[in-house]
Amino acid sequence: MKLIDFIKSRDYDILPRWIDKDTLAEIDYLNMVIRINLELILTQIVAHEFLHDCYPDLAEGKILKKTIRYLNRMKVPEIKAVGRETFRQIIFREVKK
C-alpha cells in the first residue's frame, strides 16, 4: 500500500493535537487515530528558515544543529504561539501586491 492510499483509506482519523515538545506525531491503534503535533512541526520549519535568514552563508548541516538548539531553548507556550501564528498566516494568507 502506498502512503497516499493509506491516507485516503481513512482507516485512521488524522488529527492535529499538541503531544509534547519532543514528539512530532503518534499513532493510537486502539482508537484508530494519528495525532500530528502541527504546532511543533510548523515551529520547527519556521525556526529553520528564520535561521537561514539570519545566517545565509551557513551550511545546511550547521543550520540543522542550530535549529535543534533554538527549539530546545523555546518554552512550550512559545512553540504553540509560533505554530498557531504560522498556521493562521497559511490559512488566512493575504496576497502581497
Reported pTM: 0.87
pLDDT value for 1:
72
- Phi, psi of 93, deg, nearest 5: -60, 130
Question: For the chain, what is the mean pLDDT?
Answer: 94
Q: Is the pLDDT of residue 12 over 80?
A: yes
Instruction: Band the pLDDT of 95: cuts 50, 70, 90.
Output: low
**What band does 93 get if pLDDT is binned at 50, 70 and 90?**
confident
Residue listed under C-alpha cell 544543529: 65
Residue 42 has pLDDT above 90, yes or no: yes
Residue with cell 529553520: 48
33, β-bridge pairs:
13, 28
Burial (Cβ within 10 Å: 0-12, 13-18, ≥19) of residue 50: middle
